[in-house]
Structure formats: structure tokens, C-alpha cells
């Protein structure tokens, strides 16, 4: 009887949630968000947020066991306690619970966009209602149990327009009315001045098994047309045409490529989708529609790799190179952001426009609706958790640490490719913006002008300015930010094309997470045109502890390591709370285009695998690093020589 009562209670909760989806009225149509208030740029503050999150409305998240709704996801992100269904916690964390589980984020975010997959949006939620037509269909009965086989089956319909499952999924999605559910949740949770939400979705193009060409689409409005989906086209150019049509309706919108590291070389290819070399029209259209790129998330870093940047001692950071590819690696050329900056300069020199003129953001890609970014609130794969109520135990912890397999998991995909290595997943990343106010208009404007930075989950605050006439002692003055805006440009901008031989000066400031680890160093990474190719170089511009760069090796001594591997705690006895730098490029050539962006590293801290192993009384996995150096990246500043 006990199990019977539990089943009935769970079913009632599921049916009620489904009714909430299907009975949602369309939100009232309002004008697009206004332009941000005209304020002194020096008043801009750092806000932190999430631009890549999935809930039960995503077809794959449902098969993983997710029941958290978009409304709950926003409430969790802004710091409220949400009640997570026992079935979700049991499936994703392997916990034997029989009641709703409370979950609360360790600290609230300032803004969030729920980006559920636009393809068959909400269709799978119909399987939570036993009376729905989808539940009663033959394919619905086959998919009802969820799990990886259901994921593979539904995914096949996404990648194959001729799939027999397509009509059933489309009909279920229409019944779910998913886009109105998403818009209503975003608008109901928008609290201008306190918490900002964005109407958004993910366009999930995968032109080949496991190849990611995905984009998160963010609107600056309380409404938007029905989403453009990958079932309509896998070509980014077609998505951009759709976004152009949205702007003609008075709605601002942008797209953000993510997981370029898993694009198999396609995201930053030399060619367009039709195989022809990138031309000026393509370059300008891409730069307009995709001003940002996601540089880090749970599926790894997309900055660079040791193979692409052999002289960068910190390039080997959270590299995920095997997901969806079995034991073979995807192509690295064309898959990483730093290389895209170099290729962009080459293409600029050839066609007169730069298609890869992108600022950076970070995201989670978490698929259970619970956006977290602290290492101890993550247990691998793509699920967030409250470490006080949802931490995996026993078999669940062993599976997360690669020591066992979760019940229901399969070892290979239908095409023979091996399944994901859980140890390769990274803790979630977040986006930082410098904006006047915490509202849609101000934050979207910051995204659009690329005054952004990404962190691997910590609240490092970093900003960089560049200019020709910046005072070298500026950083020590009380009004240094005002002067930097007045006499220079912030990250995400172009240096004025001033003729002359002097090098630009860069001013950088980084502050530690108020609750996190101290900072190790700040670096400026330069990428410049070299004939028909490009080169790169990493400069240490600020070091903690009085360390100096060795003039012979060009390297600085390591900061040290104070992590206690028996507790997972870090002693903040090394590093510093703030780093500042004034730097002038010693290799500057006024005739050569260049890109400059900053990277800031924390001192070593425990990786999520270490936290979970300690909490579970299990050995720390040897196949993953025990510690990491969390970091932040700024959007670049570009220099283009004047013509003539």
C-alpha cells in the first residue's frame, strides 16, 4: 500500500504539472524592452548570470528524468527553495527518496535565461499525463520509461526529418504549447532591479552524429515568434535569416554558439555551410547575429587546447574531447575560440569583414533545471544539485566518479560510439556583464556591445580597457574607471584606428570571489595576423606574491597549492584578493591587426570529483585532476590598422 500511495501521489503531481503546461494562456504582447537608461558608464556594475539552462521542456532532459519546470528553474536561480520530485532525484543522483526534495542555490544569480531545446518543445511532458494522446500512442508507451534508449529514439527524430516519430512529437509539442509556457515563466519571474529573465531557447543543429552546431537564442523582449528549429534547417545562415526577420518586428535578438569544442571543426571553419569560402556578406551577417560565444560550460572549455597552443602552460584545462566520438577525438582545428580570433583576422584581411568578432560568455548546459556553479554542488554529467539534500550516495556517487554505471545506462550508442566519460564533465560556468542596472534593457545592451566576461563558476570580477593615451598610473586613481571610459575603450570594443607607431596601453583589474579563493595571476593573450596565418602569445601581466617572470623562459613560478585533499578545503594563505595591471604591448606593430583578451586564474582549489569523493568516503579518481585553477576570461579588444 505504501508504494501504491507513493505512485498515486507522484502521478497526481505529474498530471498537475502537465495541466499547468497545457492550460497556460499566451502572455500579453508588449513593446520590446526599452533602451537602457542614459547613465555614466563608470556606474556600470558586474552582474552574474546563466544563459544556458534546460528543464523538463527539453526532450532530452525529460528522458534523463527531469521534472523541474521553467518556472521552478527561475525561482531556484534567484535563490528560492524549490521542491524537486523524488523521481528526478532518484534517477539523476541515484538516491532512494520517497518525497519531494528541497533544493536551494548557494547564492542567487542576477539574471537567467532558460534555453530549452526548440525542437519538439514540451512534447515529452505529455507522457506525464496518462490521458494524453501521446501517452496512449504506441510510440508514447515505448518512450514512457525514459532513459537513454528513449533519448536515442527521440534524438533520432531530431536529426532525421523523415523519422516516423516526427509527426507524433510535433503533435505532442503543439498540445504542450511549450513556447507560451517558456514566455510566461520568464515574464512571471522577471523582477527589474533584482532578478532579470530572458525569453530564450536553444537551436539544436547537429549536422552529423554528435556534432554540435548549437546556438542559444536570446530575445530582449517579453515575447517572440515561435522558435526556429533545427528540424527546419541545420544551417546557421538560415537561423540568421530568421533572426533578421524578428528584428524587423521590433524585437532585439542575438544568438550564442556553444560547445564549439564539440563542433568537429565546423563552428569556426574557413567555409560557409555550402562549402564555399567565407565571403564578406557571410562575415557581416554572422558578426551581426552572433556577437558572443560560450567559452566554457559543463561539457568543457572552448578556449584552446595544448595542441593548438603548445606554449600556453594553462591550455590543458577541462578539455572534453571524447563525448559522442567514442575513443576518437573531434577535429580541434575550427573548434576553439582563440583559434577563431586568429582565423577572423585572416578572413578580415581577405574579404574586409571579421565573422568571428565575438565576446565571451559562460554557461552551464545543466539539464535538470537547477543552475549551480560551485564545484561542490556538481556531481558530473549535466545535473545541478543542492549539496545538503541531493548529493549522490553509494552507487550514485560511484557512477558519477566513473567507478560504476548508473542503472539503465548503456555502454554504447546505437551507432556503436562509446558513451560519455563522467569524469570529463566540468563544473558549470557563468556569465558576467558590466551593466548600468539589473534589467533586460541594460543587461541585453551589455551582451550586445560585448562588455562581458566568463568565469568557470566563481564570482571573479574582471574588466579591461585599452587606449592610446591611458595614463600608466591610472589604476591607482579614485576615478580611474571614469577616465578609462573617457580616454579608452572597454573589453568588447575596437581600439580607434589611430595612425602612429606607439603601442596601445591596457588597464586591467581583477577581484576575487568574495567567498572564494585568492587570485594567482592575470594574463593578456595576444593573437595577431602573420601573413596568411596568425600567431599567439600569452603575457603574465600581474602576479601575486611578488613573483617575477623569468626573462630566460618567459614563465613565472607556480603560485603553490594549499588544498587539503582530506577535506577539500583551500587555505587562502597564498595569492591575493585583487590584481591590477598596466601593460603596453612590447611586440606591437602598427601595421598588423591584433586581438587582446585577458585571463585571470585563481590559486588551486578542489575539483568537483575531489569534493564528491571526500563526501562519499571514496578514493579520489586518478583519471581526473584532483585540483583545478578556476578562471575568468574577458571579451577581447581588437586593433585594426587604419587604411591607407
- Number of domains comprising the chain: 2
- Domain check: are 496 and 633 in the same one? yes
Specify the residue for cell string 569556426. Answer: 268
The predicted pLDDT at position 498 comes to 79
In degrees, rounded to 5, the angle at the alpha carbon of residue 625 between the alpha carbons of residues 621 and 627 is 115
pLDDT per position as a tens digit, 330-341: 789 999 999 999
pLDDT tier, 422 (very low <50, low <70, confident <90, very high otherwise): confident
DSSP alpha helices (H): ranges in 530-638? 608-615
Mean pLDDT over each residue of the chain, to the nearest integer:
90
Which of the pair, 194 or 156, is modelled with greater confidence? 194
- Domain check: are 246 and 140 in the same one? yes
- Domain check: are 53 and 103 in the same one? yes
- Domain check: are 524 and 476 in the same one? yes
- Domain check: are 520 and 562 in the same one? yes
Whether residue 83 lies inside any domain: the answer is yes
Whether residue 310 lies inside any domain: the answer is yes
The boundaries of the domain holding residue 236 are 2-430
- Domain check: are 492 and 422 in the same one? no
Q: What share of the chain is helix, strand, coil (3-state, %, to 5)?
A: 30, 20, 50
Whether residue 446 lies inside any domain: the answer is no
Describe the crossing of helices 280-289 and 337-351 by its angle, rounded to 10 degrees: 140
The predicted pLDDT at position 26 comes to 38
- Using only C-alpha atoms, what is the Rg of the chain? 24
- Cross-strand bridge partners of residue 219: 253
pLDDT per position as a tens digit, 245-265: 999 999 999 999 999 999 989
Domain termination site, one of 385, 409, 430? 430
The predicted pLDDT at position 324 comes to 55
Whether residue 437 lies inside any domain: the answer is no
pLDDT per position as a tens digit, 181-239: 999 999 999 999 999 999 999 999 987 667 889 999 999 999 999 999 999 999 999 99
Q: How much is the pTM?
A: 0.92
- Domain check: are 247 and 124 in the same one? yes
Inter-CA distances, 619 with 403, 405, 615, 634, Å: 10, 17, 10, 36
Which of the pair, 506 or 30, is modelled with greater confidence? 506
pLDDT tier, 34 (very low <50, low <70, confident <90, very high otherwise): low
Q: Is the pLDDT of residue 59 over 80?
A: yes
The predicted pLDDT at position 146 comes to 77
Amino acid at each position: 500500500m505504501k508504494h501504491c500511495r507513493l505512485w498515486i501521489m507522484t502521478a497526481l503531481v505529474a498530471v498537475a504539472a502537465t495541466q499547468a503546461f497545457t492550460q497556460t494562456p499566451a502572455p500579453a504582447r508588449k513593446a520590446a524592452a526599452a533602451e537602457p537608461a542614459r547613465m555614466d558608464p563608470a556606474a556600470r556594475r558586474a552582474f552574474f548570470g546563466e544563459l544556458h539552462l534546460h528543464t523538463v521542456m527539453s526532450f532530452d532532459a525529460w528522458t534523463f528524468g527531469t521534472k523541474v519546470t521553467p518556472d521552478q528553474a527561475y525561482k531556484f536561480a534567484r535563490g528560492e527553495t524549490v521542491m524537486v520530485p523524488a523521481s528526478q532525484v532518484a534517477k539523476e543522483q541515484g538516491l532512494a527518496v520517497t518525497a519531494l526534495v528541497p533544493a536551494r542555490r548557494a547564492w542567487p544569480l542576477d539574471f537567467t535565461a532558460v534555453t530549452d531545446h526548440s525542437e519538439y518543445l514540451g512534447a515529452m511532458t505529455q507522457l506525464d499525463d496518462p490521458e494524453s494522446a501521446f501517452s496512449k500512442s504506441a510510440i508514447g508507451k515505448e518512450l514512457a520509461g525514459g532513459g537513454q534508449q528513449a533519448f536515442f529514439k527521440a534524438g533520432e527524430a531530431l536529426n532525421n526529418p523523415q523519422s516516423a516519430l516526427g509527426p507524433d512529437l510535433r503533435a505532442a509539442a503543439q498540445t504542450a504549447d511549450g513556447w507560451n509556457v517558456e514566455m510566461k515563466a520568464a515574464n512571471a519571474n522577471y523582477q527589474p532591479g533584482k532578478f532579470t529573465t530572458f525569453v530564450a531557447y536553444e537551436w539544436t543543429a547537429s549536422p552529423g552524429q554528435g556534432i554540435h552546431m548549437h546556438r542559444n537564442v536570446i530575445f530582449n523582449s517579453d515575447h517572440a515568434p515561435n522558435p526556429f528549429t533545427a528540424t527546419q534547417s541545420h544551417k546557421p545562415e538560415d537561423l540568421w535569416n530568421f533572426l533578421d526577420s524578428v528584428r524587423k518586428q521590433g524585437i532585439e535578438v542575438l544568438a550564442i554558439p556553444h560547445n564549439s569544442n564539440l563542433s568537429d571543426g565546423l563552428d569556426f571553419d574557413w567555409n560557409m555551410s555550402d562549402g564555399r569560402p567565407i565571403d564578406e556578406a557571410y562575415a557581416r551577417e554572422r558578426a551581426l547575429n552572433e556577437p558572443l560565444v560560450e567559452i566554457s560550460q559543463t561539457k568543457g572549455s572552448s578556449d584552446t587546447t595544448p595542441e593548438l597552443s603548445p606554449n600556453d602552460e594553462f591550455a590543458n584545462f577541462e578539455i572534453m574531447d571524447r563525448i559522442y566520438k567514442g575513443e576518437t577525438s573531434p577535429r580541434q582545428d575550427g573548434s576553439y575560440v582563440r583559434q577563431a580570433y586568429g582565423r577572423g583576422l585572416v578572413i578580415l584581411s581577405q574579404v574586409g569583414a571579421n565573422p568571428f568578432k565575438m565576446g565571451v560568455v559562460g554557461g552551464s548546459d545543466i539539464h535538470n533545471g537547477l543552475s549551480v556553479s560551485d564545484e561542490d554542488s556538481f556531481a558530473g554529467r549535466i545535473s545541478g544539485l543542492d549539496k545538503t539534500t541531493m548529493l549522490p550516495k553509494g552507487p550514485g556517487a560511484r557512477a558519477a566518479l566513473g567507478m560504476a554505471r548508473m542503472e539503465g545506462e548503456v555502454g554504447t550508442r546505437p551507432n556503436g560510439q562509446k558513451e560519455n566519460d563522467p569524469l570529463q564533465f566540468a563544473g558549470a560556468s557563468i556569465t558576467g556583464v558590466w551593466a548600468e542596472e539589473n534589467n533586460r534593457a541594460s543587461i541585453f545592451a551589455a551582451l550586445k556591445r560585448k562588455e562581458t566576461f566568463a568565469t568557470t563558476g566563481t564570482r571573479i570580477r574582471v574588466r579591461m580597457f585599452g587606449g592610446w593615451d591611458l595614463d600608466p598610473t591610472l589604476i591607482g586613481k579614485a576615478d580611474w574607471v571614469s577616465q578609462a571610459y573617457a580616454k579608452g575603450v572597454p573589453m568588447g570594443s575596437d581600439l580607434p584606428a589611430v595612425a602612429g607607431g606607439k603601442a596601445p596601453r591596457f588597464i586591467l583589474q581583477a577581484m576575487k570571489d568574495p567567498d572564494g579563493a585568492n587570485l594567482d595571476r592575470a594574463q593578456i593573450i595576444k593573437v595577431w595576423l602573420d601573413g596568411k596565418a596568425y600567431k599567439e602569445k600569452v603575457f603574465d601581466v600581474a602576479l601575486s606574491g611578488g613573483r617575477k617572470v623569468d626573462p630566460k623562459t618567459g614563465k613565472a613560478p607556480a603560485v603553490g597549492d594549499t588544498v587539503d585533499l582530506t577535506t577539500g578545503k583551500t587555505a587562502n594563505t597564498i595569492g591575493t584578493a585583487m590584481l591590477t595591471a598596466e601593460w603596453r604591448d612590447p611586440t606591437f606593430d602598427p601595421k598588423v591587426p591584433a586581438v587582446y583578451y585577458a585571463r585571470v586564474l585563481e590559486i588551486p582549489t578542489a575539483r568537483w570529483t575531489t569534493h564528491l569523493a571526500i563526501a562519499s568516503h571514496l578514493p579520489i579518481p586518478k583519471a581526473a585532476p584532483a585540483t583545478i585553477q578556476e578562471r575568468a576570461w574577458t571579451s577581447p579588444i581588437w586593433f585594426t590598422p587604419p587604411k591607407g
